[in-house]
Homo-oligomer: A and B are copies of this chain.
Protein backbone atom coordinates (compact mmCIF):
# COMPACT_ATOMS: atom_id res chain seq x y z
CA UNK A 1 0.00 0.00 0.00
CA UNK A 2 1.17 3.51 -0.80
CA UNK A 3 0.97 6.16 1.95
CA UNK A 4 -2.44 7.84 1.70
CA UNK A 5 -0.96 11.33 1.55
CA UNK A 6 1.16 10.53 -1.51
CA UNK A 7 -0.69 11.76 -4.57
CA UNK A 8 -0.69 9.21 -7.39
CA UNK A 9 -0.47 10.05 -11.07
CA UNK A 10 -2.21 7.29 -12.99
CA UNK A 11 -2.19 7.05 -16.77
CA UNK A 12 -3.65 4.80 -19.44
CA UNK A 13 -2.26 4.37 -22.93
CA UNK A 14 -4.90 4.82 -25.64
CA UNK A 15 -4.37 3.77 -29.25
CA UNK A 16 -6.23 3.13 -32.48
CA UNK A 17 -7.79 -0.34 -32.43
CA UNK A 18 -7.78 -0.74 -28.64
CA UNK A 19 -10.45 -3.10 -27.31
CA UNK A 20 -12.41 -0.38 -25.58
CA UNK A 21 -13.36 -2.31 -22.45
CA UNK A 22 -9.67 -2.99 -21.75
CA UNK A 23 -9.58 0.75 -21.12
CA UNK A 24 -13.09 1.57 -19.94
CA UNK A 25 -13.42 -1.34 -17.48
CA UNK A 26 -10.34 -0.20 -15.54
CA UNK A 27 -11.31 3.47 -16.09
CA UNK A 28 -14.27 2.98 -13.76
CA UNK A 29 -11.85 1.96 -11.01
CA UNK A 30 -8.74 4.02 -11.78
CA UNK A 31 -10.72 7.27 -11.98
CA UNK A 32 -11.93 6.66 -8.41
CA UNK A 33 -8.65 5.89 -6.61
CA UNK A 34 -8.43 8.26 -3.63
CA UNK A 35 -5.87 11.07 -3.85
CA UNK A 36 -4.92 10.52 -7.48
CA UNK A 37 -5.02 12.14 -10.89
CA UNK A 38 -6.01 9.89 -13.76
CA UNK A 39 -5.40 10.75 -17.41
CA UNK A 40 -5.49 8.99 -20.76
CA UNK A 41 -2.56 9.45 -23.16
CA UNK A 42 -2.38 8.95 -26.92
CA UNK A 43 0.26 9.38 -29.62
CA UNK A 44 -1.70 12.45 -30.63
CA UNK A 45 -4.57 14.25 -28.91
CA UNK A 46 -6.95 13.20 -31.70
CA UNK A 47 -9.80 10.73 -31.13
CA UNK A 48 -9.14 7.11 -32.00
CA UNK A 49 -11.55 4.25 -32.71
CA UNK A 50 -11.72 1.00 -30.82
CA UNK A 51 -11.96 -2.31 -32.71
CA UNK A 52 -15.72 -1.99 -33.04
CA UNK A 53 -15.78 1.74 -33.73
CA UNK A 54 -16.20 3.47 -30.36
CA UNK A 55 -14.57 6.89 -30.55
CA UNK A 56 -12.37 7.65 -27.55
CA UNK A 57 -10.33 10.79 -27.02
CA UNK A 58 -7.06 11.04 -25.07
CA UNK A 59 -6.66 13.75 -22.44
CA UNK A 60 -3.14 14.52 -23.63
CA UNK A 61 -0.27 13.19 -25.73
CA UNK A 62 2.47 10.82 -24.62
CA UNK A 63 4.91 13.73 -24.83
CA UNK A 64 2.80 15.74 -22.40
CA UNK A 65 2.53 12.98 -19.80
CA UNK A 66 4.26 13.60 -16.48
CA UNK A 67 6.24 10.75 -14.90
CA UNK A 68 3.49 8.32 -13.91
CA UNK A 69 3.18 6.36 -10.69
CA UNK A 70 0.80 3.85 -12.26
CA UNK A 71 0.90 2.90 -15.94
CA UNK A 72 -2.04 1.05 -17.51
CA UNK A 73 -1.60 -0.64 -20.90
CA UNK A 74 -4.76 -2.04 -22.53
CA UNK A 75 -4.85 -4.41 -25.50
CA UNK A 76 -6.92 -5.09 -28.59
CA UNK A 77 -6.17 -5.84 -32.25
CA UNK A 78 -4.50 -2.41 -32.56
CA UNK A 79 -1.75 -3.65 -30.24
CA UNK A 80 -0.07 -5.12 -33.32
CA UNK A 81 0.77 -1.70 -34.74
CA UNK A 82 2.61 -0.77 -31.53
CA UNK A 83 4.85 -3.83 -31.28
CA UNK A 84 7.63 -2.18 -33.25
CA UNK A 85 6.70 1.45 -32.65
CA UNK A 86 9.84 2.95 -31.11
CA UNK A 87 8.04 6.06 -29.83
CA UNK A 88 5.38 4.15 -27.90
CA UNK A 89 7.70 1.40 -26.69
CA UNK A 90 10.25 3.97 -25.52
CA UNK A 91 7.52 5.86 -23.66
CA UNK A 92 6.26 2.69 -21.96
CA UNK A 93 9.78 1.66 -21.04
CA UNK A 94 10.65 5.07 -19.54
CA UNK A 95 7.34 5.35 -17.68
CA UNK A 96 7.60 1.80 -16.36
CA UNK A 97 11.08 2.50 -15.02
CA UNK A 98 9.70 5.19 -12.70
CA UNK A 99 6.26 3.74 -11.93
CA UNK A 100 5.40 1.89 -8.73
CA UNK A 101 2.84 -0.26 -10.58
CA UNK A 102 2.45 -1.38 -14.19
CA UNK A 103 -0.96 -2.81 -15.09
CA UNK A 104 -1.56 -4.61 -18.36
CA UNK A 105 -4.92 -5.87 -19.59
CA UNK A 106 -5.41 -8.52 -22.25
CA UNK A 107 -2.91 -8.19 -25.13
CA UNK A 108 -1.57 -5.05 -23.49
CA UNK A 109 0.83 -7.62 -22.00
CA UNK A 110 2.29 -8.16 -25.48
CA UNK A 111 2.95 -4.44 -25.85
CA UNK A 112 4.69 -4.45 -22.45
CA UNK A 113 6.60 -7.49 -23.68
CA UNK A 114 7.73 -5.67 -26.80
CA UNK A 115 8.96 -2.87 -24.52
CA UNK A 116 11.14 -5.48 -22.81
CA UNK A 117 9.23 -5.46 -19.53
CA UNK A 118 8.24 -9.15 -19.37
CA UNK A 119 11.65 -10.82 -19.18
CA UNK A 120 11.70 -13.22 -16.25
CA UNK A 121 8.19 -12.33 -15.15
CA UNK A 122 5.12 -14.43 -14.45
CA UNK A 123 2.39 -13.01 -16.67
CA UNK A 124 -0.97 -13.58 -18.32
CA UNK A 125 -2.92 -12.28 -21.31
CA UNK A 126 -6.01 -13.16 -23.44
CA UNK A 127 -6.36 -16.90 -23.97
CA UNK A 128 -5.87 -16.54 -27.73
CA UNK A 129 -2.40 -15.02 -27.16
CA UNK A 130 -1.40 -16.91 -24.02
CA UNK A 131 1.08 -19.13 -25.89
CA UNK A 132 2.96 -16.05 -27.11
CA UNK A 133 4.14 -14.89 -23.66
CA UNK A 134 7.39 -16.95 -23.76
CA UNK A 135 8.53 -14.98 -26.83
CA UNK A 136 8.87 -12.01 -24.49
CA UNK A 137 10.74 -14.00 -21.86
CA UNK A 138 7.71 -14.42 -19.58
CA UNK A 139 6.36 -17.49 -17.81
CA UNK A 140 2.65 -17.82 -18.69
CA UNK A 141 0.42 -18.27 -15.65
CA UNK A 142 -3.15 -19.34 -16.37
CA UNK A 143 -4.89 -17.11 -13.84
CA UNK A 144 -7.33 -14.28 -14.34
CA UNK A 145 -5.07 -11.83 -12.50
CA UNK A 146 -1.35 -12.35 -11.98
CA UNK A 147 0.60 -10.11 -9.61
CA UNK A 148 4.40 -10.22 -9.96
CA UNK A 149 6.28 -7.57 -8.03
CA UNK A 150 5.22 -4.17 -9.32
CA UNK A 151 3.28 -5.75 -12.21
CA UNK A 152 -0.41 -6.61 -12.32
CA UNK A 153 -1.47 -8.61 -15.37
CA UNK A 154 -5.15 -9.11 -16.15
CA UNK A 155 -6.03 -11.87 -18.61
CA UNK A 156 -8.65 -11.22 -21.26
CA UNK A 157 -10.72 -8.09 -21.68
CA UNK A 158 -13.23 -8.04 -18.77
CA UNK A 159 -10.47 -9.35 -16.46
CA UNK A 160 -9.34 -5.72 -16.47
CA UNK A 161 -12.08 -4.92 -13.97
CA UNK A 162 -10.86 -7.59 -11.55
CA UNK A 163 -7.26 -6.51 -12.10
CA UNK A 164 -8.04 -2.84 -11.54
CA UNK A 165 -9.79 -3.60 -8.24
CA UNK A 166 -6.78 -5.68 -7.15
CA UNK A 167 -4.55 -2.78 -8.12
CA UNK A 168 -6.75 -0.32 -6.19
CA UNK A 169 -6.41 -2.54 -3.11
CA UNK A 170 -2.63 -2.67 -3.52
CA UNK A 171 -2.42 1.10 -3.86
CA UNK A 172 -4.95 2.30 -1.29
CA UNK A 173 -5.93 -0.71 0.80
CA UNK A 174 -8.80 -3.18 0.70
CA UNK A 175 -11.47 -0.82 2.01
CA UNK A 176 -10.83 1.76 -0.71
CA UNK A 177 -11.20 -0.99 -3.31
CA UNK A 178 -14.32 -2.33 -1.59
CA UNK A 179 -15.96 1.11 -1.71
CA UNK A 180 -15.31 1.34 -5.46
CA UNK A 181 -16.62 -2.19 -5.97
CA UNK A 182 -19.84 -1.35 -4.11
CA UNK A 183 -20.35 1.84 -6.10
CA UNK A 184 -19.86 -0.18 -9.32
CA UNK A 185 -22.25 -2.84 -8.00
CA UNK A 186 -19.69 -5.39 -9.05
CA UNK A 187 -21.36 -8.63 -8.00
CA UNK A 188 -21.37 -10.24 -11.43
CA UNK A 189 -23.83 -12.90 -12.53
CA UNK A 190 -22.65 -14.12 -15.93
CA UNK A 191 -25.58 -15.78 -17.69
CA UNK A 192 -23.46 -18.73 -18.86
CA UNK A 193 -20.43 -20.61 -17.58
CA UNK A 194 -18.58 -19.88 -20.78
CA UNK A 195 -15.97 -17.21 -20.07
CA UNK A 196 -12.83 -19.31 -20.48
CA UNK A 197 -11.53 -21.91 -22.95
CA UNK A 198 -11.77 -24.48 -20.14
CA UNK A 199 -15.50 -23.91 -19.56
CA UNK A 200 -16.77 -23.05 -23.06
CA UNK A 201 -18.48 -25.77 -25.11
CA UNK A 202 -15.87 -27.14 -27.56
CA UNK A 203 -17.73 -26.00 -30.68
CA UNK A 204 -17.97 -22.42 -29.41
CA UNK A 205 -14.28 -22.42 -28.49
CA UNK A 206 -13.45 -23.78 -31.93
CA UNK A 207 -15.51 -21.08 -33.63
CA UNK A 208 -13.93 -18.38 -31.42
CA UNK A 209 -10.40 -19.60 -32.18
CA UNK A 210 -11.29 -19.52 -35.87
CA UNK A 211 -12.48 -15.92 -35.56
CA UNK A 212 -9.10 -14.80 -34.18
CA UNK A 213 -6.92 -17.11 -36.29
CA UNK A 214 -5.64 -14.40 -38.66
CA UNK A 215 -4.78 -11.85 -35.96
CA UNK A 216 -3.21 -14.61 -33.83
CA UNK A 217 -0.97 -15.65 -36.73
CA UNK A 218 0.11 -12.03 -37.19
CA UNK A 219 0.78 -11.69 -33.49
CA UNK A 220 2.92 -14.82 -33.54
CA UNK A 221 4.98 -13.52 -36.45
CA UNK A 222 5.56 -10.21 -34.66
CA UNK A 223 6.34 -11.98 -31.39
CA UNK A 224 9.08 -13.97 -33.14
CA UNK A 225 10.68 -10.77 -34.45
CA UNK A 226 10.45 -9.15 -31.03
CA UNK A 227 12.01 -12.24 -29.43
CA UNK A 228 14.95 -11.99 -31.84
CA UNK A 229 15.36 -8.29 -31.04
CA UNK A 230 15.22 -8.91 -27.29
CA UNK A 231 17.52 -11.93 -27.51
CA UNK A 232 14.88 -14.28 -26.07
CA UNK A 233 15.40 -17.92 -27.02
CA UNK A 234 12.09 -19.84 -27.09
Binding site for B on A (CB under 8 A): 19-21, 24-25, 27-28, 31-32, 38, 40, 47, 52-57, 59, 106, 126-127, 144-145, 155-159, 161-162, 165-166, 169, 174-175, 177-179, 181-197, 199-201, 204-205, 207-208, 211
Contact = CB atoms under 8 A, between A and B. Distances in A.
A126 B27 contact: no
A185 B174 contact: no
Nearest to A145: B189
B53 A31 contact: yes
Contact of A179 (B28, B166, B189, B208): B208
A21 B191 contact: no
B175 A158 contact: no
Residue from A40, A157, A181, A204 whose CB has the most chain B CB atoms within 10 Å:
A181
Contact of A158 (B161, B196, B205): B161
A158 B184 contact: yes
Contacts of A145: 189
A25 B21 contact: yes
Nearest to A167: B191
A157 B178 contact: no
A27 B170 CA distance: 29
A203 to B, nearest CB: 8
Contact of A166 (B126, B161, B182, B191): B191
